[in-house]
Amino acid sequence: MATLILFCGLPGAGKTTLAKRLEAEGRGVRICTDDWQAELGVPHSDAAFHERLQPVLYRHALDLLRHGTDVILEDGLWRRDERAEKFRDARAASARIELHVFDVDLETLWARLQGRNLGPDRGAYPMTRAELETAWSLFQPPTADELADLEVIVET
């Protein structure tokens, strides 16, 4: 049975660091929309392209799962409806679900993002404080009911 590894957390929480480590350990194929967009030479400011690319990569992830390949889907899943969709689709693909939940305070996120914004990672979205605060206001932490039926939950 293939595993879909998911992340729930805001920018700067550590999702990419963990996803890259899991990939290096051979835990699955890592799919990250930001990295693909950068690799294709499309600037981060092109949000419309990002919105078109993300579902294409997600369909690819589901195909990989259906063929027995573990997938590390590097997305923040800020909203309940996004998580519910991923859980439902993974089950339909007969995949196991592993969710990593990141609980990091706003100031720590901002400090990490400031460092990331200055770094060499061309796949990392250069986020502003205002964008982070907007994301913070939109974030819906997972509830106990959401997590009740999952196979593996890791609080980070």
pLDDT tens figures, 4-15: 999 999 999 999
Percent of the chain with pLDDT over 90: 81
**pTM for the structure as a whole:** 0.91
Low-confidence ranges of the chain (pLDDT < 50): none
**3-state secondary structure (DSSP) of residue 100:** strand
Supply the CATH classification number for the domain 3-155.
3.40.50.300
Burial class for 69, CB neighbours closer than 10 Å (0-12, 13-18, 19+): middle
Summary mean pLDDT of the chain = 92
Domain ranges of the chain: 3-155
